[in-house]
Structure 1
Amino acid sequence: VINVGNIQVYSQIYSYDNVVYTPKECVPCSHVIPARARHCARCDQCVFRFEHHCVWTNCCIGGLNYAYFLLWITSLLALTVNDTWLIIRMLREHIQETRLWQAFYMDSGGQLKPMDYTNLVQHLFMSFPLVVPMLLLLGLISSGLAAYLVLHLWLSCTNQTSTEFYSRSSRRRELARQRPSYCRRYYDRSSLWANLFEVFGYETTNLLREMRRRLPAQMEFKTH
């Protein structure tokens, strides 16, 4: 959060690209908004390196908590993928134990036919009316989380925020016509590691150290 006490510090970190960010005053906060910062209408405060306001965490995602946000999305993806795999494994064992693939079903004409995928899924749905829909829901959630995580990892590797990406995308043709020399990734450091370090930096390193410190004694890893 940017306030009177730290406005001078945040104003010196980035320069204005004069495309997405230009010097302008924030009326509610009564100061000039630093580059890559934005005023959040919901939180009513300016946020450094503003990413977006997350309704799930009820807070703004910015420069000081973006790394934790990525770790949170990663943990959610790992949780949903694990639950999806457990359900698939349970259904597979049920199919093997009951020998469903060796079973036959009677069609509308009264003839016996070998089991196929359509009737197998229908049988599983009737046998497990809650588990199968949950599997489909977890699959959709996992796919969405994976796509969302990949997007943010790409933004991190190119040193962009989603606000910058969408703002530049919407004005790409206009800028290409007015300023052919304009660089779309103004804040890109031209180094993958430099971009990632700017996103994760020391905060995540300290977080991992704290997590390791809190591990039980039997879970500590030997380093010598």
Structure 2
Amino acid sequence: MKILLVEDDMDLAGGLIKALRREGFTVNHVALGKQAILSVRSEPPDLLVLDLGLPDITGLQVLESVRSLKLALPVLILTARDGLDDKVMALDSGADDYLSKPFEMEELLARLRVLARRLGTSMHSKIELHGVLLDTRHHEVAVAGQPINLSRREYMLLMALMENAGRVQTKEMLEQKLYGWGEEVVSNAIEVHVSNLRKKMPADLIKTVRGVGYTISKTRA
């Protein structure tokens, strides 16, 4: 799941990026409101975490522009402004949730899970296919009841394929889900991750659609 973080405090942004990536999110970050609008238009994220006090335009202006695009994009306001009027204005302007700084990371993650549920994603629950159980809340994987250790990107790859079971995921789609801006992606990175993941999964779980990408079927052949 991809998050766009709009935050001009670079120290806070750096800490959030590290924490969110540890939780299995792909995170892109911008510090300016106009950059955020361009990013949403060109590459819509799954979730938007938005500060109100930005250097160029206000977070509310960003929110207004984003909502004009008519996207089903959950928006969490993350700001030091904790007055009731600020909260009401943000929520009335189209925000889905509002979290005041300072905050605990666990609360932020819980609120993101709530927003993900509104998207109809399975990030908050468990997915089971062909003897593989993926617990997307606790980031645990089991095969035939036995826990399996996966790297962060192996886990993200498996989640992307299982959440989209029955649909082919292209290499480009998977790269976007596994890597954020500025992260180096070698040309065969997805192929390597798929190869490593296959060694830990049941035979034929991940199928190659030649010239297109990869998929996991919803039902057994």
TM range, normalised to the smaller chain?
under 0.3
Q: Tell me which structure has the larger Cα radius of gyration.
A: 1
Which has a greater percent of strand? 2
Which has a greater percent of helix? 1
**TM-score normalised by structure 1 residue count:** 0.25
